[in-house]
Structure 1
Amino acid sequence: MARCRTSAGRKYTYADYLTWPEEGRWEIVDGEAFDMTPGPGRLHQEVSMGLERQIAAFLEGKPCRMFHAPFDVVFLEKGKKADASRNVFQPDIFVTCNPERLTEQAMLGAPDFIIEILSPATASIDHVRKRRVYEKHGVREFWLVHPTDRTVLVYRLGANELFEFGGVHACDGLELEVSIFPGLVIDFGRAFPPTPKVVRETPPPYGSRSGKSRS
């Protein structure tokens, strides 16, 4: 699991985050700080780049913009400044249609679409705690990709401003549309490397011996 930075009774904010050394990669979740190093592995990166290429191609010439980690998203609490935020994430991939919320360092407020690609160290944070923050702040669509299981979980914001579960989808051969961006169909076959072929050898009949027979 990601290493947690603790101080008795302390809740960290974006103001604290901005004072930390740049060599670390930290996220703040409900005031708790998590060290997200080491970085993601090869499969995580391959899947991320495969998804990014398709999203970027679709968005070319459109007002919405895509970003990827490491780029901060600061979730704002009503009536409070960004420095007071207790939720500062670096989603693997996100799309915003509100470019006026972008600064040189961060996105201030919730993106429209987020993809998180699970890593063993961050799975529980991504799947439970960050998902709750995304729902609370009105992320319109959230995909959670499991690169080793080759599945994607889909959540879409409903009329009641709560996430509706859109199912677990096997990624092999899957083409899935991002519902908030009609026409953006993600071909997971272009994001995932081919499934390795499994070679199964038929065992010899019971009682048979390999090699030369005994005279």
Structure 2
Amino acid sequence: MGRGKRPATYEDIEALPPGWVGEIIDDELWAFPRPARWHARVASVLGVRLGATFGVGEGGPGGWWFVDEPELHLGRQVLVPDLAAWRYERAPGLFERDEPFFDLVPDWVCEVLSPSTAALDRGRKLPLYHREGVSHAWLVDPRAHTLEVYRRGARGWRFARYGGEEVVRAEPFDAEPLDLGRLWAPRSMPTPGP
């Protein structure tokens, strides 16, 4: 933050134009317009697939609360991952309070990368998620057709990368296979350009 510049506040987020998403990271306001269609599609497909299997337990183990674009209040940080999930046993009363944000650190977060957010997601948010105690983080790149899986270690993230049409078992949802080919735009649709 620059000299003499005041720390960002929640009022700065509320003052953003309609349709913009705001986050406060290390006292700085970061604001972005709503994501592109292909970004939203990947997040939606992933949320439906994981939510059905691991959230409500249709054909899978269940045991997780999934939320699309939750607003996380972690100390002074305000973060909005594309997806987040909490294990039932760690967050049994997650939805008992009627607030528009979550202050319990998720067990898993997922960021879908876009050209306007990739540097922030990798450079600022990923280390912050580690520091706050998130156990797993995924970075999904719809342009490169890749899934990066991060597992929290004592000194940093442990990392695995998958791509293309692979069918993978990615932590923490490795109890069931995930077909990456289903995440990307169907072949009849043009792949997003640079």
Query: Which TM-score applies when normalising by structure 1?
Result: 0.73
Q: Report the equivalent of 1:135.
A: 130
How many residues of Structure 1 are paired with residues of Structure 2 in the alignment?
Answer: 179
In structure 2, how many angstroms separate the alpha carbons of the residues matched to 1:184 and 1:20? 42
Cα distance, 1:12 vs. partner? 2.1
Q: CA deviation at 1:20?
A: 3.5
Letter in 1 for 2:85: V
Counterpart of 1:25, as a letter, is V
Counterpart selection for 2:35 from 33, 40, 53: 40
Looking at structure 2, the residues matched to 189 and 173 of structure 1 have their Cα atoms a distance apart, in angstroms, of: 4
CA separation in 2, counterparts of 1:99 and 1:22? 35
**How far 1:100 sits from its partner (Å)?**
3.1
Structure-1 separation of matches of 2:167 and 2:183:
11
Describe the superposition over 1:86-107 as per-residue Cα deviations: whole angstroms up to 9, x where unpaired.
x111110110122535543111
In structure 1, what residue type is equivalent to 2:181? G
Match of 2:140 in 1: 145
1:95 alignment partner, one of 74, 85, 110: 85
Q: Is 1:188 matched up with 2:180?
A: yes
Q: Which has the larger radius of gyration?
A: 1
Please state how far the C-alpha of 1:72 moved relative to its aligned partner. Answer: 0.4
Is the contact made by 2:13 and 2:29 (CA closer than 8 Å) also made in structure 1?
no
RMSD over aligned Cα, in angstroms?
2.7
TM-score (norm 2): 0.80
Alignment of 1:24-173 (within 5 A): 24-37=20-33, 39-58=34-53, 59-61=55-57, 62-69=62-69, 71-76=70-75, 85=76, 87-97=77-87, 98-102=91-95, 103=97, 104-158=99-153, 160=154, 162-166=156-160, 168-170=161-163, 172-173=164-165
Alpha-carbon displacement from aligned partner over 1:35-93 (angstroms, at most 9, x marks no partner): 111x1111111111110111111120544210112x301113xxxxxxxx1x1111101
Which residues of structure 1 form unaligned runs of 5+? 77-84, 199-215
Q: Which runs of 4+ in 1 moved over 4 A?
A: 195-198
| Offset, 1:194 | 3.2
1:131 and 1:193, CA in 2 relative to 1: closer, same or farther beyond 3 A?
same
